[in-house]
Structure 1
Amino acid sequence: CCVVAQLCSTLFTCSLCVKYFIDPVTLGCGHSFCMPCLCFYWEEGQQPPRCPVCRKIAHQLNLKTNTNLRKLVFLARQKGPCDLPNPAEEICEIHKYTKNFFCKVTKDVRCLLCCMSEQQGTPRHGSLQWTAEEYRQKLLNIMRSVWKKIQENKQNLNRETNKIRTWDSYVSTWKKMKQTEYWKVFHLVYHEEKHHLEKTEEESREIFQQFKESQYNMDLKQKLLRQIYEELKELCHKPDMELIQHYENMSKRGESVQLHMPRPVVPQLSAWPIPGLVDWLNQFQVYIALDNERVTRHVPVFEDLRCVQAGPDGPGVDYTPPRSKYFLAWGAESFTSGQHYWEVDVAGCCNWAIGFCNDSWTRDSDMVLDSEGIFLLLCIRENNQCRFFTASPLSPQYVRKTLGHVGVFLDYDGGVVSFVNVARSSLICSFLSCSFSSPLKPFLCSGYP
């Protein structure tokens, strides 16, 4: 008996929690662990994920349940767990048999003869062991769902924290971009400039407060999700009778805690009209003849951007970027001096990129975001929301989505590339204090589902 108990302790227990496996998974090195224990271990450990026993790198993170080991653990559990005391057996007062069947209607235990005398129609009795295992698997399904929410909320929390860390710097740059545009028509709009910058400051404080509240709510939700996850894990390790008694209450808590997940803040600064901006830009308008037009489904700059937005995924979280059909073209003419302005109609496009790039980037099939000599405004759809980015360097732009025409202005000698919302005569963003060392070509890419 001691040998059997020792064998069970070695083969069927997790080395992390030192209890019978629940939802066992096996790594490539051959070591097995409870999936919940492994999730916690990898979440709190250093990257890359390693085996807790032999420290080998775990290359496969989307692990599947080891069904054979789960069956063996179930059989071992019936022999009597070596880490938990057996519940006291109850004897039927009528038939003097052990009560080892559970009634799912009355929620109590019966002996075999009691079950046979009451069995009519739909089966309502099951053995304690099978009922507990059934409930244990249902709890594991809830745990997987809760863990997915933990990872989702953690990713959103990290994003919110990053926004807070860079928010002041972004607002400062945003104000400088606005000031640059206002100085062009300073004598006409001095008072409006002052008013709009004050409004931007007010909006900045309001959005920053929203960030802090969102961060606080996500932090609370993260702690609550982890607490419920821990309680569900502990319940899975309880003796069968205790697990059955607390199953309904814990399953309801596990499901209810997943409701009303806090959503990340989507910051958007107002872009007020700048009087006379588009009229001033139109004096530099040029006709852009497109060259090298083609249609493709592979545009690395968008795939890179989606990877940046997806972030590192935790165990069991899949990310498959949507594929669109893209129209891609460059301007036939390059610019080496002067001021130039052109407009693009982006209405109906789900993803698009416009701006200027150097000749070497047009010849480079990689078209990656971190390339030098590209000055692009990109719009990408993420979770049914459109977001703006500039490249390079890659920076998010927190302004409202532009519908219709987008204007692109290049001041080669002044080192400025600006993007404007033509319909509203407002600024979207600008590249300031650039140093252009090579000819620049207009670039256009538009995507359709």
Structure 2
Amino acid sequence: MAAAAVEMLQQLQNQITCPICWKYFCEPVTIGCGHSFCRACLPSTAVTAFSCPECRQVSQVRGFPLLNGSLAELTKLGTQLRSQLLQSTGGQRRCAIHKEVLEYFCEDDQTVLCLRCCQAPEHGAHRHCPVEEAVSNSRKKMQHLQSCLQKYFKETKKLLVKEKKPVIDWEKMISREYRERDSLMWDELYHYLERMDQETKNKKETLSQESTTLQDLMLDLQEADSQPNLDLLRDVKELLERSKSALSQRAKALNPEVRVCPIFGMLETLNQFRVDIRLDPASASPCLIVAEDLKSVRAGEGWQVDSPHGDDSDLPMVLAEQGFSSGIQYWEVDVTQLPQWTLGIHTTYLRIKSPGRITKYASIFFLRCVKKEDGHYLQSYPGSLNHKLKDPIPRIGVYLEYKFGILAYYNVLQSSLIYQLPDISFAAPVRPMFSPGPPLPGTKPAPMTLCALDSHLCSCCYSSL
């Protein structure tokens, strides 16, 4: 008797299920060809000619179809009968072959079985477990995925907000660099900014799509979690596969990359201000070793790799012999063998604490390269730069313009601007600063070398390093 009722209910379900969303009808409407659909599943705007999603027959209509009251009542009745049948059978269904209760779940075939099915040759060697245990395991997996999706959904939303309000105004910084060069570069600047704008739009679109996908998956998991046991087992495989696929394809760009914008003729212009710098051994920290020619420095055994240091005076460093209080200077530093380094300038300021009492204090402004598990990162002080490098930079160019407080860094190999620190107001002479580390644990300290005035670096040179 119960089996016959189940069969009749299944036939009724076919009649009250929308062929578009595959759910019970919600506000069903019937169009000219006789097929019915949920109101929300059909186009929301009225048209003169309407193509049926089921049979593709075109019906001439004057307005949106009216609610099919009879079908709505039938759907309501079918829902009630299903609920009553599940309660009367304890939510259990019977095997279509052996007419026994489906009490076991085949993990290999992902299907429910009765005891006799489990003993059959086609299932005998498979892994079986009680339906209750399979449901419990499936719910745990869905809850875990729900937690992961919720976490990644929040991260994606944060990334989307950051993309709308970027920390660094790249367009302004690069535009300024172009304005200081030849006016013939404006056409190239326009195309670069256009490409950069398109990249930003593509990234925001990707993050937005990912956010929508994660949100839809979370809703589907919530709905599945409230389904009866056997319905859950029927849908859980597809849900788990979709969730795993979404997680594997999740955007990895949690950290922005340093932009590379080659500028033709830039290095030729900078080299007009090239200066020959020598290191001052008297200014070197105890853990640094300065070469006899005063052109290179490396970390010594006294550098405690794991000991934290501050942003200025605690940083192991050596200063240049020269100090600058006017004009424009440019120098290059070879960091090919260094996974981590810091380059900048050191200066002193006068602070008036009280009438008649003046105190000097030191400060540095720098660009730092830090090695992490997933690559190299550039950080600045002061400033908001904390961006990933696509590839290590072998040679750094440093540009100082004292009068206007400009301190900029260049990728010599790619002839591009790396970063320009926010405008600085100098009040005392400044000296170039160098720090070749900290060295990575288990590695031999390598030198940081000041490049000679006549040395130049190109792609062919770097390929042989």
Match of 1:175 in 2: 175
Does residue 161 in structure 1 map to residue 164 in structure 2?
A: yes
Determine if contact 2:260/2:418 at 8 Å carries over to the other structure: no
Residue among 214, 217, 224 paired with 1:228: 217
Structure 2 residue 276 is matched with structure 1 residue 285 = yes
SS of 2:247's equivalent in the other structure is coil
Equivalent position amino acid for 2:285 in 1? N
**Structure 1 residue 199, shift from structure 2 partner:** 1.3
Letter in 2 for 1:217: T
The Cα of 1:411 is off from its aligned counterpart by 3.8
Q: Distance in 2 between matches of 1:229 and 1:136?
A: 13
Alignment of 1:15-26 (within 5 A): none
1:419 to 388, 409, 421: 409
1:355 aligns with 2:371: no
CA distance in 2, matches of 1:94, 1:396: 65
Matched AA of 2:432: P
Give the alignment partner of residue 437 of structure 1, picking from 421, 427, 439.
427
Identity across matched positions, percent: 19
8 Å Cα contact 1:100-1:128 kept in structure 2: yes
Match of 2:304 among 280, 289, 296: 296
Alignment of 1:353-392 (within 5 A): 353-359=342-348, 373-381=363-371, 384-392=374-382
Residues 260 and 273 of structure 1, relative CA distance in 2, 3 Å threshold: farther
Q: Is residue 358–residue 441 contact of structure 1 (8 Å, CA) maintained in 2?
A: yes
Per chain length, whose mean CA-contact separation is higher, i.e. which structure has more relative contact order (CA < 8 Å, sep 6+)? 1
Q: Contact 2:343 / 2:367 at 8 angstroms: preserved in 1?
A: yes
- Counterpart in 1 of 2:201? 212
- Displacement, 1:142? 3.5
**C-alpha distance in 1 between matches for 2:316 and 2:174:** 29
Give distance in 2, aligned partners of 1:337 and 1:418: 17
Which residue of the partner structure matches residue 335 of structure 2? 346
Secondary structure of 1:349's counterpart equals: coil
Report deviation, 1:355.
0.9
For the pair shown, the structure with the greater C-alpha radius of gyration is: 2
8 Å Cα contact 1:334/1:439 also seen in 2: no
Give the corresponding residue for 1:393: 383
Q: Is the contact made by 1:333 and 1:441 (CA closer than 8 Å) also made in structure 2?
A: yes
1:102 to 102, 105, 109: 105
> Within 2, Cα distance between the matches of 1:388 and 1:343?
17
Q: Deviations over 1:81-109 (max 9, x none)?
A: xxx96853346799987543334466665
Q: 2:231 aligns with which of 228, 239, 242?
A: 242
**By percentage of residues, which structure has more helix?**
1
**Aligned-partner Cα distance in 2 for 1:156–1:97:** 53
Deviation readout 1:131-169 (Å, 9 max, x if unpaired)? 211222233344344345434534433432333xx67x4
Q: Which of 301, 311, 323 pairs up with 1:335? A: 323
Q: Quickly say closer, same or farther: Cα 1:222–1:273, change in 2 above 3 A.
A: same
Change (3 A) 1:338 1:245: same
Matched, 1:130 2:130: no
CA distance in structure 2 between the partners assigned to 1:94 and 1:401 by the alignment: 64
Shift of 1:228: 0.8
Query: RMSD between aligned alpha carbons?
Result: 4.1
User: Once the 2 structures are TM-superposed, how far is the Cα of residue 232 of structure 1 from its aligned partner?
Assistant: 1.6
Q: Deviations over 1:281-332 (max 9, x none)?
A: 22x3332224115223245568xxxxxxxxxxxxxxxxxxxxxxx9931316
Matched-pair contact (CA < 8 Å) for 1:277–1:426: no
Q: Does the 8 Å CA contact 2:320/2:433 hold for their aligned counterparts?
A: no
**Structure 2 spans left out of the alignment, 5+ residues:** 1-85, 288-302, 350-360, 441-465
Residue number in structure 2 paired with 1:56: none
Partner amino acid for 2:187? Answer: E
Q: Secondary structure at the match of 1:296?
A: coil
The 5 A counterparts of 1:302-341 are 328-331=316-319, 333=321, 335=323, 337-339=325-327, 340-341=329-330
Task: State the alpha-carbon separation in 1 of the partners of residues 390 and 130 from structure 2.
Answer: 60
* C-alpha distance in structure 2 between counterparts of 1:387 and 1:162, whole Å: 21
Question: Which residue number corresponds to residue 7 of structure 2?
Answer: none
3-state SS, counterpart of residue 285 of structure 2 = strand
> Letter of the aligned partner of 1:286 in structure 2?
I
Aligned 8 A contact 2:163 2:200 in 1:
yes
Quick one: which amino acid aligns to residue 273 of structure 2? L
Code of the aligned partner of 1:374? I
Aligned residue identity for 1:215: K
Amino acid at match of 1:219: S
Choose the corresponding residue for 2:250, options 254, 261, 275.
261
Question: Residue type of the partner of 2:276?
Answer: Q
| TM-score between both structures, scaled by the size of structure 2 | 0.56
- Preserved contact between residue 397 and residue 429 of structure 1 (Cα < 8 Å): no
Q: Deviations over 1:374-407 (max 9, x none)?
A: 3222334567454544421334689986733323
**1:176 partner amino acid:** R
SS in 2 for 1:270: coil
Match of 2:398 in 1: 408
Alignment CA distance shift 1:110-1:408 (3 Å): closer
- Contact 1:344-1:407 within 8 A present in 2 as well: yes
Alignment of 1:145-160 (within 5 A): 145-160=148-163
| TM superposition shift of 1:128 | 1.6
Count of matched residue positions in the alignment of Structure 1 and Structure 2: 319
The whole-number CA distance in structure 1 between the counterparts of 2:158 and 2:200 is 15
